[in-house]
């Protein structure tokens, strides 16, 4: 589902504010990166997907490398993913992933699944994912094996993301989000606890 674009009250009809436009461009680039190798993505393809002109992308980002350095960062996404008390984090993470799929049509964390397609850019994607997502989660955990538990919980979460968003499992997609949260969150939460 495409998010409707809204303009600032003072903007002429059909115009978007800079923040919304930048977000649309980033969303389009993330979408394409999850489906194509970095080298195969053109600024024109990003512009077409975002509903803007290629020169506008250059205005906001300078060049393709600068745009994709932001796309390959998880920093903007991890705050929302981990924004819950530790005792409720598993439920929150599962719900966040599913709502990302149902409301925005994509989960920004799933782009890590396509790192092998990205060549050298995939190495950047993996390093960012480890430091910005897994290590940040591990720092919140107490007790032994925090790094292992963080990797296992994120891996469990990504498994759901793959079946829901990439494989498009018919049964999972036909089930209400809260029912999936009730069934799946305990598996994620089990890895977050000290065992």
pLDDT greater than 90 at residue 134:
yes
pLDDT in tens, 20-72: 898 889 888 888 877 777 788 899 999 999 999 999 999 999 988 888 888 88
CA–CA separation, 179 and 143 (whole Å): 30
More confident residue, 111 or 149: 149
pLDDT in tens, 153-167: 999 999 998 898 888
Nearest to 160 by CA among 98, 77, 90, 106: 98
Enter the pTM of the model. Answer: 0.75
CA–CA separation, 24 and 21 (whole Å): 5
User: What rounded mean pLDDT belongs to the chain?
Assistant: 85
Nearest to 181 by CA among 109, 113, 102, 112: 102
Set out the domains of the chain in order of their start, with CATH numbers.
Answer: 18-71 (1.10.10.60), 75-192 (1.10.357)
pLDDT greater than 80 at residue 2:
no
More confident residue, 108 or 28: 28
Reported for 72-80, long-range contacts at CB under 8 A and 24+ positions apart, including other chains, are 72/33, 72/111, 72/121, 72/124, 72/125, 72/128, 73/128, 73/132, 74/108, 74/109, 74/112, 74/128, 74/129, 74/132, 74/133, 75/128, 75/132, 76/108, 77/108, 77/109, 78/132, 78/133, 78/136
More confident residue, 114 or 173: 173
CA–CA separation, 100 and 168 (whole Å): 14
């Amino acid at each position: 589902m495409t998010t409707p674009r809204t303009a600032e009250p003072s903007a002429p009809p059909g115009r978007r504010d800079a923040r919304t436009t930048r977000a649309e461009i980033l969303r389009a680039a993330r979408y394409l990166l999850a489906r194509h190798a970095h080298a195969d993505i053109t600024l024109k393809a990003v512009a077409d997907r975002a509903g803007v002109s290629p020169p506008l992308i250059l205005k906001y980002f300078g060049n393709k490398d600068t745009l994709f350095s932001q796309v390959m960062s998880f920093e903007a996404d991890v705050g929302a993913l981990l924004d819950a008390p530790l005792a409720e984090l598993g439920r929150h993470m599962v719900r966040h992933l599913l709502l990302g799929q149902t409301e925005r049509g994509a989960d920004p964390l799933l782009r890590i699944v396509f790192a092998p397609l990205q060549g050298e850019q995939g190495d950047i994607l993996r390093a960012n994912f480890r430091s910005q997502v897994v290590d940040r989660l591990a720092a919140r955990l107490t007790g032994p094996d925090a790094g292992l538990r963080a990797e296992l919980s994120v891996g469990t979460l990504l498994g759901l993301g793959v079946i829901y968003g990439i494989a498009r499992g018919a049964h999972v997609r036909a089930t209400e989000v809260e029912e999936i949260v009730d069934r799946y969150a305990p598996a994620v939460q089990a890895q977050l606890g000290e065992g």
